[in-house]
Structure 1
Amino acid sequence: MRPETAVLDIQGQFRVYTECYRADAAEKTIVMVNGSLATTASFAQTVRNLYPQFNVVLYDQPYAGKSKPHNRHETPLTREMEGQILLELIDHFNAEYVMSFSWGGAPTLVALAQRPKRIEKAVISSFSPVINEAMLDYLLRGVKHLGEHNRYEIGQLINSTIGKYLPSLFKRFNYRHVSSLDLHEYDQMHYHVSQVLEIDPQNYLTAARNINVPVLFMNGSLDEYTSAADAPRFAEHVQHSHFITIQGAGHFLDMENKAACRDSKNAVQAFLTPQPSASRAARYAYEPIQGNHAFAF
């Protein structure tokens, strides 16, 4: 399973590294949106879950991964800029679906609020409309370590909080990756966190009311940072919201254990390509909750 790779010019402003996994039988294409400090490698398991049923597109933000060498890193990207990059990629790859993880939910919701014509459905995973007590503590500690470029503390913080349920091997890879980033990547994340701490949530949620496609919000039952209990508050803002809780999973969902991987795969595929058979739906150990949308980490 080898992807087609390319570095795309985005309006003469950014150059973005992309990977496209094309399947002969696939009729639909889905674009994946990373969380902060992550790269295309973060979606390795998710690609296996979605391919070959869908064509799958991955990309690195201009400041990260294989996009880094092709861009200047003079100022941080706003979520609006990241949303515009996503819109350009949706058009380029003729994508019908988009799926985000963690902070990637912010630019995804910004992009969806522009009502891209091709998009039919979206999945927003590990994202919350509120900053709860656990998240606030994580963000405050994070913004301190990021501002100091303290590699050790940043790696330790992520693995002991949102990454606490990752297998030990994944934690080692995660720490190695996070603690070896370029300084501009820490500055970008510092900007993201500062934005979250300073933003007026109502402004963000109001913009999300423009979204006119079904959105599945997927959260882990053990995730205390982007909590499944808080996620349904998106329903106050997004007209066609659906919610699902992956039992026994924390923030990183399909990376944490086999059951969470299986249930995440089933939930996404059932939402994007629903089956009429009630007997098949009955085999799932979780139920989607109808509702509506919107905020970010």
Structure 2
Amino acid sequence: MRPEIAVLDIQGQYRVYTEFYRADAAEKTIILVNGSLATTASFAQTVRNLHPQFNVVLYDQPYAGKSKPHNIHQRSLTKEEEGQILLELIDHFAAEHIMSFSWGGACALLALAHKPRRVERAVISSFSPIVNGPMRDYLERGAHHLGRCNRHEVGHLVNDTIGKHLPSLFKRFNYRHVSSLADHEYKQMHFHISEVLEHNLGNALFAASEINVPVLFMNGEWDEYTTADDSRLFAPHVKDCTFTTIQATGHFLDMEHKAACRDTRQALQDFLKPTKREQRVRYHHIQGHHALAF
């Protein structure tokens, strides 16, 4: 399964590395939005869950991964600018679906608020509209270590908090990745954290009220940072929303163990390929059966 690779020019301002996993029999295309400090590699398992039922698009933000060498990193990007990049990619790949992970949810919601005409459905995973106590503690400690470019502490912080339920192999990968990032990437994440702590994700709720397509909010039962209960605060704001809790798993969902991977895949398939009867149901609650980003 080898992707088609391209570095795209976005509005003459950014160069964005993309991977397009084409499937001849697929009728729809889905674009995946990374969490902060993550790259296309973070979605390896998710690609296996979605392909070949869908064409799958991955990309790196201009400051990260394989986009990094193609850009000049003079300033940090806002979530609104990341949302505009996502809108350009939706048009380029004619994507009908969006799926985001973790802080990529803010970017995805801001893009969806523009009502892109091609998009039919969206999945927002491991995200909630508030900064609860555990998340605030995590972000404040993260801001402290990022501001000092303390790579060792940043790497351990990720694994000790949102990554606590990951297998040891993935924790080692996470640590190597997060502790080896460039200074501008740490500055970018510090900028995002400062925005979140100052505004408490109010922009995400405002954006959600403008969304006009069905949205699935998917969270892990053990995730104390973006909890399933907190995600349900989107219900009064998103006109057509569904919620699912993946049992016995934390923030990283399908990466944590086989049952979580199976149940995440099933939840995605049920939502993205609904039966005709399911398409008529609104505000339907789904409960999961069982049980790399920053």
TM category (shorter chain) comes to over 0.9
Q: Distance in 2 between matches of 1:201 and 1:170?
A: 28
Code of the aligned partner of 1:182? A
CA distance in 1, matches of 2:105, 2:213: 15
Distance in 2 between residues matched to 1:56 and 1:164, nearest whole Å? 28
* 2:104 counterpart residue number: 104
Shift of 1:288: 1.6
Contact map agreement 2:129 2:204 (CA 8 A) in 1 = no
Question: Counterpart of 2:230?
Answer: 230
- Asked whether the equivalents of residues 131 and 200 of structure 2 are also in contact (C-alpha less than 8 Å), the reply is no
2:164 matched to 1:154? no
- Work out the CA distance in 2 between the residues paired with 1:201 and 1:178: 24
Q: How do 1:189-208 residues align onto structure 2 when only pairs under 5 Å count?
A: 189-199=189-199, 201-208=201-208
Identity %: 71
Aligned residues of 2:14 and 2:62 also touching (Cα < 8 A)? yes
**Corresponding residue for 2:7?**
7
- The one-letter code sitting in structure 2 at the alignment partner of 1:118 is R
Matches within 5 A, 1:136-175: 136-175=136-175
Work out whether residues 36 and 189 of structure 2, in 8 Å CA contact, stay in contact via their aligned partners in 1: yes
The corresponding residue for 1:94 is 94
The answer as to 2:209 corresponding to 1:209 is yes
**One-letter amino acid of the structure 2 residue matched with residue 224 of structure 1:** E
Aligned to 2:281: none
Once the two structures are superposed, what CA deviation does each residue of 1:253-295 show, in whole Å capped at 9, x if it has no partner?
00000000000000011000013699xxxxxxxx527xxxxxx
2:208 and 2:234 in contact (8 A); partners too:
no
Cα gap change, 1:111 to 1:268, in 2 (>3 Å): same
Size of the alignment, in residue pairs? Answer: 283
Kindly provide the amino acid, as one letter, of the partner of residue 154 in structure 1.
Answer: V
For structure 1, the residue ranges without an aligned partner over 5 or more in a row are 279-286, 290-296
Partner amino acid, structure 2, of 1:45: Q
- Residue 84 (structure 2) pairs with residue 70 (structure 1): no
Counterpart-to-counterpart distance in 1, 2:247 and 2:62: 34
Judging changes above 3 Å, is the alpha-carbon distance between structure 1 residues 147 and 259 closer, same or farther for their aligned structure 2 residues?
same
Q: Deviations over 1:148-198 (max 9, x none)?
A: 000000000000000000000000000000000000000000011111000
Find the counterpart in structure 2 of residue 245 from structure 1: 245
C-alpha distance in 2 between matches for 1:241 and 1:161:
28
CA distance in structure 2 between the aligned counterparts of 1:147 and 1:51, rounded to whole angstroms: 39
Question: What secondary structure is seen at the aligned counterpart in 2 of 1:265?
Answer: helix
Q: Following the alignment from structure 1 to structure 2, what is the Cα–Cα distance between the partners of residues 71 and 3?
A: 22
Aligned 1:31-46 pairs, distance under 5 A: 31-46=31-46
Unpaired stretches in structure 2, ≥5 consecutive residues: 279-284, 288-293
| Cα deviation 1:111-145 (Å, max 9, x = unaligned) | 00000000000000000111111001001100000
| Whole-angstrom CA distance in 1 between matches of 2:145 and 2:226 | 21
Q: Which residue of structure 2 aligns with residue 113 of structure 1?
A: 113
Letter in 1 for 2:199: I
Task: Provide, for residues 225-255 of structure 1, a one-character-per-residue CA deviation record: whole Å limited to 9, x for no partner.
Answer: 0001111100121111110000011000000
One-letter code aligned to 1:236 = P
- 1-side partners of 2:68 and 2:245: how far apart? 35
Residue 200 of structure 1 and its aligned partner are, at CA, apart by 5.3
**Which consecutive segments of 4 or more residues in structure 1 shift more than 6 A?**
none
Matches within 5 A, 1:264-283: 264-275=264-275
> Residue 21 of structure 1 corresponds to which residue in structure 2?
21
